[in-house]
Homo-oligomer: A and B are copies of this chain.
């Protein structure tokens, strides 16, 4: 198995990427392809004592930065002769020379590069950015968290099928419970999009559990949570922000408390809080978001990712390769299209 790691993605690149490549090669004992400017990468690798033959540097002179956007970004992503680390890295996956691509770079850039260079799985119009959210009982799979701000009901159906296959194959959930984010649990609640998607999901043959609100999502009542990319992104950003606000408020409340007991208690509880945040909310534990629906495994991590987060992303990418996730998604989409065609013909 070969994983490609974009050396020029994270905010402090390429240091964490080089460290992560060495660590992942050591940990998994298989090749890591590190893509970026060779003149920058080679000395760092040497400085880190890394003449590990499993870390292979592939030269890419150009990069997509956080400033790239709009038409300029689309051109950088699309042009056949593009020499960005993302384009060259993703072409390895396209050509079958690698099994998955991992980056902590510009999310829009990675999505566009993957979309243009890999194309989508037959039947998938819109790929969905897929992430794990912590809940009461473990984690749930949420998509789309930002690839498509505007969706049609059919897109949500495809997200549901892909998320369900992911949950089954990679997360090991037998019959994943699939839910739809809405502004009320009852059937019939929702905006026009949700009202349009509900009957499609109900008739899909998936284990559809209906509309979900926050308390069901975080209470662990679904394994797969489906939304348009705007709503999914608001869900993601809100949950991160509220977790941070709570943690800040607790610390402040303890600091300002006049009770010595509370101050001592705060010190004693601190490692517990830290442990919980780490287990449940640390991106390094969860890895990176998967762009589901393109013809290749593409993982996109946060720009603030450190080497530990990147090794996690490589680990989850390896699980998806092992599970033959893409074949399973292709087959599930194919089956649904066939069923639909038969239904339409009858």
Contacts and interface: CB of A to CB of B under 8 A. Distances in A.
Contacts of A136: 245, 248
Interface string A250-269: 10011001010110111111
Interface stretch (A48-56, A272-280, A328-336): A272-280
Majority secondary structure of chain A interface residues (helix, strand, loop or mixed): helix
Interface size of A as a range: 35 or more
Contacts of A239: 214, 238, 242
A85 interface: no
A194 B233 CA distance: 14
Contacts of A271: 259, 262
Contacts of A276: 249-250, 253
A24 interface: no
Nearest to A240: B214
Interface in A201-244: 213-215, 217-219, 228-231, 233-244
A175 interface: no
A190 interface: yes
Given A214-B240, A234-B234, A242-B218, A261 B253 contact: no
A334 to B, nearest CB: 30
Nearest to A227: B234
A39 interface: no
Given A243-B242, A266-B269, A214 B234 contact: yes
A192 interface: yes
**What are the nearest 4 A-B pairs in CB distance?**
A265-B268, A214-B241, A214-B237, A183-B233
Given A218-B238, A219-B241, A265-B265, 19 more contacts: A136-B245, A149-B192, A182-B230, A191-B230, A213-B237, A214-B236, A214-B240, A215-B237, A215-B241, A215-B244, A231-B231, A238-B242, A242-B242, A250-B273, A253-B272, A257-B272, A262-B268, A264-B265, A264-B268
6 contacts: A149-B189, A214-B241, A217-B238, A246-B247, A253-B276, A265-B272
Interface of A: 134-136, 146, 149-150, 181-184, 189-192, 194, 213-215, 217-219, 228-231, 233-250, 253-254, 257, 259, 261-262, 264-273, 275-276, 280
